[in-house]
Structure 1
Amino acid sequence: MWITYGLTAGVVLGLYDYWTKKGMDGNGVMAVVFWSSFFGAAAWLIAFLPVSYGSGFHVDPGATNLKQQLFILFKGLMMTGSWIFAYYSVRELPMSFSGAMRASGPLWTFLGGALIFGEILTPLQFCAVLASVIAYFLLSQIGKKEGISITCSTPILMMLVATLLSAMTTVYDKWLVQVLELKPNDIQAWSALHRCLLAGIIMWFFCRGGRSPMMPNWSFWIPLIGLAWVGAEWVYFLAIQDPNANVTYLSIFRRVSLIVGFLLSVLLIGESNVGRKSIVILILLISTITLILHA
């Protein structure tokens, strides 16, 4: 089931990527980061109330001590930083390229999983991981034909930073659940509140004095961003609760989001160079299927 959960999280993240692109249209990054975080936190508030008791979503406010809260806060710091860098990139780049810059994510996750959890892939499995990384790289190379330089583009570098932070969070989540033995609901609910608070502080710092508006041009895309992330994270945590779950595989499965986002971009935004990009994404799909069949 952890494979199914991982793929489902990837599909939801594809919607999240598309909604982020739409929500960023004409808006400042910090305003979107805060308000999407706000709606994500609001979705978890009911879990702290007695009405949620026995529902499977309930969170006991007194169940985590200060040390555990600090561990969860560190997750929130990494995620908030990842969002800020990623949103700047998504605002400036076509969806296919902002997704392609996550190419190094599975490798970083692989290194983390190997070093921390001893997750070693077979030669065939490693080739599938490598093929997916190469596919993302080739997709990014197509960007040169569209005037996007990997080495000289600030949005590209921002997405690389966001990818590294996201990969660290992927490994850290499994450590919180399987080593520190924190309840997934506690991690997600408190982290959502932490992210909202952190994003609010950062937004105030960057937007004070009228340098940037704290209120975005309002659209229903913004709450959808926050709710989609909560949904994807919920499904992802169902996956990593399984002791057999491999964080390297999960990192690859979550990259299914690129396929979903690319299709939505082609149909609704007007992505260019569709033929060449489709071939590269097909390579990615084959590598993902290979991992599923040999999991």
Structure 2
Amino acid sequence: MWLLLAFTSAFLLGFYDVFKKKSLKENAVLPVLFLNTLFSSLIFVPFILLSAVGKDWITHSIFYVPIEGWEVHKFVLLKSAIVLSSWIFGYFAMKHLPLTIVGPINATRPVMVLVGALLVFGERLNLYQWIGVLMAIVSFFLLSRSGKKEGIDFKHNRWVFFLVLASVMGAISGLYDKYLMKQFDPMLIQSWYNVYQLFIMGTVLLFLWWPKRKETTPFRWDWSIVLISVFLAAADFVYFYALSYEDSMISIVSMVRRSSVIVSFIFGAIFFREKNLKSKAIDLILVLIGMIFLYLGSK
């Protein structure tokens, strides 16, 4: 069941990336990210309030948010800081790089999660799973070759560096998620980490973007900003419940989630008219083959 949930989360994440790319086109990054945290919080605040007043229908549902003290919330606050760091780097990279480059690079993120899972949680992979991981590693090196055709030098491009930093922080977040899901309620984590992100991002917006807003790319409203939050909230909801299963493996869940690249790649090719699709498609095929081996290894 947890593997099916992981694939569902991946599908939703693909649309999240597409709407993120659309909203960032010729737009200010930090206000878009702030609005993402705002709308995500608005989705979950009603569940927090209804749970607090003890409504019967929500108390016995999967949407119930337990009431906990600082001894629990400090872990959620740390989660918020880690995710927001990843998002800030990732949003800037998404704005300046083709979606058909960003997707496959993000698809290699689980390799870092794998190393951490092996070291921290003692997870072990079988032959099929190792083949899937190796496919993802090979695809990253092939992708760097495809990027050069568009003038993107992976070694000297700061947006690629930002994307790598976002991936590192995302991998740390993934490992931390596994720990949190074994200790605390999934709905508690998702609800409150969105709220904490809103306050953190609000502070960043107020002190970093607002004073220099007239010197940088201006902000423009786009309805796709709302859809970023909707698809992210749905993807994370399914993801957290996948990790709450006792036999779930973060190394596999993280890898499967990166199959979201299929959706983002298709939209990048059709709607954003991106280039060098043939060579990038080879990289994508390797990622997909890797997903198949991971699935076979997890049956």
From 62, 65, 84, the counterpart of 1:56:
62
Residue of structure 2 in register with 1:127 after alignment:
131
Equivalent residue for 1:191?
Answer: 193
The partner residue of 1:274 within 269, 273, 277 is: 277
Shift of 1:109: 0.3
TM-superposition CA deviations, 1:158-191 (whole Å, max 9, x none): 000000010111110110111xx21000000000
| Counterpart-to-counterpart distance in 1, 2:19 and 2:8 | 17
- After superposition, residues 252-267 of structure 1 pair within 5 angstroms as 252-267=255-270
The equivalent residue for 1:46 is 46
After superposition, give the CA deviation of every residue in 1:28-68 in whole Å (9 maximum; x if it has no partner).
Answer: 111011001100010001102335444421214xx211121
Distance 1:209 1:185 in 2: 36
Partner residue, 1:154: 158
Larger mean CA deviation between 15-24 and 202-211 belongs to 202-211
Q: Equivalent residues in 2 for 1:12-23 (5 A)?
A: 12-23=12-23
1:207 is matched by which residue type in structure 2?
W
Query: Pick from 133, 145, 148: which aligns with 1:144?
Result: 148
In structure 2, relative to structure 1, the CA distance for the partners of 1:79 and 1:150 (3 Å cut) is same
Aligned match of 2:8: 8
CA distance in 1, matches of 2:46, 2:29: 28
Matched, 1:211 2:217: no
Aligned to 1:168: 172
Cα distance between partner residues in 1 of 2:91 and 2:210: 20
Letter of the 1:191 partner, please give it. Answer: Y
Match of 2:293 in 1: 290
Displacement after TM superposition at 1:134 (Å): 1.3
Give the Cα separation in 2 of the matches to 1:56 and 1:122.
33
**Counterparts of 1:33 and 1:110 in 2: how far apart (Å)?**
28
Identify which of 92, 95, 110 aligns with 1:91.
Answer: 95
* Cα separation, 2, equivalents of 1:285 and 1:101: 13
Unaligned runs of 5+ in 1: none
Which residue identity is paired with 1:203? L
Q: Which residue of 2 aligns with 1:237?
A: 240
RMSD between superposed Cα atoms in Å: 1.7
Q: Distance in 2 between matches of 1:140 and 1:16?
A: 24
Q: Structure 1: which amino acid aligns with 2:237?
A: W
Instruction: Name the SS for the 1:57 alignment partner.
Output: coil
TM-score normalised to structure 2 length:
0.93
User: Does the CA contact (< 8 Å) of 1:102 and 1:136 recur in 2?
Assistant: no
In the TM superposition, what is the alpha-carbon distance from 1:275 to its structure 2 partner?
A: 1.9
- For residues 22 and 118 of structure 1, the distance between their equivalents in structure 2, rounded to whole angstroms, comes to 40
User: In 2, are the aligned partners of 1:103 and 1:133 still within 8 Å (CA)?
Assistant: no
2-structure distance, mates of 1:73, 1:214: 30
Alpha-carbon deviations, 1:88-141, whole Å to 9, x = none?
000000001122332541221011111221101123321211112211331232
Question: Contact 1:94–1:271 (CA<8 Å) still a contact in 2?
Answer: yes
Give the TM-score normalised by the residue count of structure 1: 0.94
In the alignment, is the contact (CA less than 8 A) between 2:44 and 2:191 conserved in 1?
yes
**In 2, Cα distance between the equivalents of 1:267 and 1:205?**
38
What's the counterpart of residue 31 of structure 2? 31
